[in-house]
Amino acid sequence: MNKHSNSKVLQILTAVKCRFVSLAILPLALIVIVMFAGCRTPTSSTAALKEEQAAASELATTNSELLKLHEGDVVKISFPSSPTFDTTQQIRRDGRITMSLVGDVDVVGMTPLELEQKMVDLYAEQLSSKLVTVEVVSSSIPIYVTGMVLRQGKIMSDHPITPLGAVMEAGGFDYNTANPKDVVVIRREGNIMKNYKFNLKAVLQGKQEEIFFLKPYDIVYVPQRFSMF
């Protein structure tokens, strides 16, 4: 075989060797690409994740509020070792209940477990067993809705409720006369009556507003729309 033929053979062998090396590397390259692609998170997925986290946080906050005692809740307090102290009472508007021997007790904003511990502390000298149970017999939030709604009056809510939710419970707006852009929540804070204004038309249109939960005995007023004759 001449030198030219030998050179040709070497070229062919080199080409074949390169081809096999390329084929061997290709799967590895594909794996690396897939790994990097898997590590990258699309912007839309990130946004969705943030929305889910925000929703979970809001749900946790709402559940936490549901666990707390409110005005109007009926609680049953039992003392297994001293049943003469047992009582079932509705929490008054001032946020208190009246207990034998100890008098008025502030309970609004506490969880049942916290109230149990408070009772143990208050009755420590009278109890032979440091065991007290608190049961929420019924829980409801009285809200008053007035103005240009279909059914004015008091509604009872067993869950946190917003001004728009209260209006819906009252039958919704009277769209012939209502002005949903200037709804007012009237709330007593101590000895002062405060007004909070809300544009519920914007809420109905899907525009974001900070969530505002009503408190017991709040008054939701839907004003009349101004019109020119």
DSSP conformational letter for 35: H
pLDDT tens-digit series, residues 173-195: 999 999 999 999 999 988 899 99
Asked, for residue 227, whether it belongs to a domain, the answer is no
- Report the candidate in 182, 149, 181 with the shortest Cα–Cα distance to residue 166: 149
How high is the pLDDT of residue 59?
A: 45
C-alpha distances (whole Å) from 171 to each of 35, 53, 128, 203, 206 are: 56, 33, 53, 17, 20
Q: What pLDDT score was predicted for residue 53?
A: 58
How many C-beta atoms lie closer than 10 Å to residue 116's C-beta?
Answer: 18
**pLDDT value for 30:** 43
- How many structural domains are present in the chain? 3
Q: What is the mean pLDDT of residues 19-46?
A: 46
Q: What is the mean pLDDT of residues 104-110?
A: 94
Q: What is the pLDDT of residue 54?
A: 54
d(CA 153, CA 148): 12
Is a pLDDT exceeding 60 seen at residue 199? yes
Burial degree of 186 (CB within 10 A; 0-12, 13-18, 19+)? middle
What whole-number distance in Å separates Cα of residue 187 and Cα of residue 197? Answer: 11
> Residue 229 falls within a domain, yes or no?
no
Q: Are 221 and 147 in contact (CB under 8 A)?
A: yes
Whether residues 117 and 160 fall in one domain: no
- In the beta sheet, which residues pair with residue 189? 192
The region that residue 9 occupies, defined by phi over 0 for left and psi between -120 and 50 for alpha, beta otherwise, is alpha
pLDDT band at 8 (very low <50, low <70, confident <90, very high): very low
- pLDDT recorded at residue 46: 72
Domain shared by 207 and 148, yes or no? yes
Q: Are residues 27 and 57 located together in one domain of the fold? A: yes
Q: Which residue segment(s) compose the domain that 132 sits in?
A: 74-138
- Three-class SS state of 141: strand
- For 210-223, how does the pLDDT look when each residue is reduced to its tens digit (9 = 90+)? 889 998 889 999 99
